[in-house]
Structure 1
């Protein structure tokens, strides 16, 4: 399975170079500029046009319409365009278990902010122990000590789940990629195998 990660496009996704085709395209949040429904619709149209079998999205601190009273409409827009929206929830695709959360430690009263300690721990405690790919918009949960990070910002990285320590980077690009084998190849000591978030996989800043 080929995974491609993008993040923090802030409604400037139309400035991105073409993204190579793959199995799963994952946006790690902050796809809108001001968290409006119009921004969300424009983003959904962009994602729907990308050459991927599956498209997964989590919200970020800028994506206000996914946490306020517009939430149901915003989520419906993504669904209408065939996008998988994760909010403290997961999905299994071809034996690979994905979990996504938009939650971040409190910072300047943005969307999906939670106080450190019990308030944010309630969200991290929902992450299943058998998660293969963990997608967040903020720092990795402190309890996820076995997570293997597979990328550095601005570089394309390829990694197999059968041996997550073997990774090779290609020249700087606009996305981060990882390849994952089916669950049968998963080492029992790595849960989850991949952790990706906006900080680690963010493409070059466009603003």
Structure 2
């Protein structure tokens, strides 16, 4: 159990490990530090094959947490049954010969096989959740409330994947939610693609701006890896936007790809400090952040925890300490 100290009696320090976009691969460094809850923000697989789901389950099982919360991502399309059926229909239509159903079942399973694998992993402490609000009684005595959603906007280059939508999607995030867990980022916050385009969802940003959870964690935009503390303006617009509703003077980047890799403008002292900081993170296998000042209202910690970087690189998971209410 994680040590708790200097926390008021009505609040419990809770350690959260956050990862995303493992795509069937294992972490480059095993993380042994004990946490109270581990969260995987989707894209468990690359091609939604059963062997990739099994690898993902093995990865999550090794995490030192009594509770592991998992959502799907767009690459996990066999969990989205209508999309899975459509993909098989299209593959048969485009194939010169009928596809071998035995081969399809061997690689992808029947409709619902991958979901059943995740549901059977509950005995290992792995809880697969669908879109909506969920509450968990943690072993450390805290009560955790989350809102989860695997849905991301469909784009010209990403259409045909799982859990995607065109136009508008309603993210019904309740006030008082502790952690929002989505696969995709909100528009304007750590959502740049490799082509330097913003791929975040404006409806998701608006819902988070109104609810103002303690943490919003996600992945999907691999180049957006990092963490940022966002301060909200006292009055949120009727139609919130990252242009109008963030108090930029009080917001700050904790870590991002620039701080990870450095820039040509940094001094020798800055380079050494950055390298020492990142070497420490790499030895631990994660970056960490404390967000336990519960009296600081109007702020949300955003974490893009995409582990898979572009060109085969690896990015670091996050460990975040927060305070949660006592489960009375």
TM-score range, shorter chain: 0.7 to 0.9
Cα deviation code 1:135-158 (max 9, x no counterpart):
111122121224577899666899
Residue 142, structure 1, aligned to residue 205, structure 2: yes
Give the equivalent residue in structure 1 for 2:64. 51
| RMSD, aligned CA | 3.4
Please point out which of 159, 179, 183 is paired with 1:133.
179
Give the equivalent residue in structure 2 for 1:84. 127
Residues 1:106 and 1:167: Cα distance change in structure 2 (over 3 Å): closer
Give the equivalent residue in structure 1 for 2:147. 99
1:75: how far off?
Answer: 3.4
SS in 1 for 2:60: helix
Residues 1:150 and 1:133: Cα distance change in structure 2 (over 3 Å): closer
Structure 1 runs, 4 residues or longer, greater than 6 Å off: 148-152, 164-167
Q: Structure 2: which 5+ runs fail to align?
A: 1-13, 82-110, 187-203, 218-222, 230-249, 256-276, 313-328
SS in 2 for 1:97: strand
Given that 2:179 and 2:216 are in contact with CA atoms closer than 8 Å, whether structure 1 keeps it comes out as no
Residues 1:112 and 1:136: Cα distance change in structure 2 (over 3 Å): same
Point out the structure with the larger strand share. Answer: 1
Paired residues for 1:4-15 under 5 Å: 4-13=17-26, 15=27
Give the equivalent residue in structure 1 for 2:50. 37
Of 107-116 and 139-148, the range deviating more from structure 2? 139-148
Residue 110, structure 1, aligned to residue 161, structure 2: yes
Distance 2:226 2:45 in 1: 23
SS in 2 for 1:47: helix
Distance 2:29 2:181 in 1: 23
Distance 2:59 2:185 in 1: 27
Whose radius of gyration is greater, 1 or 2? 2
Residues 1:66 and 1:179: Cα distance change in structure 2 (over 3 Å): farther
SS in 2 for 1:109: coil
Distance 1:101 1:168 in 2: 25
Residues 1:12 and 1:30: Cα distance change in structure 2 (over 3 Å): same
Residues 1:186 and 1:167: Cα distance change in structure 2 (over 3 Å): farther
Distance 1:29 1:142 in 2: 18
Residue 17, structure 1, aligned to residue 29, structure 2: yes
TM-score, with normalisation over the residues of structure 2? 0.49
Residue 67, structure 1, aligned to residue 49, structure 2: no
1:179: how far off?
Answer: 4.0
SS in 1 for 2:307: coil
Residue 28, structure 1, aligned to residue 41, structure 2: yes
Point out the structure with the larger helix share. Answer: 2
TM-score, with normalisation over the residues of structure 1? 0.74
Aligned residues: 190
Please point out which of 172, 180, 201 is paired with 2:305.
201
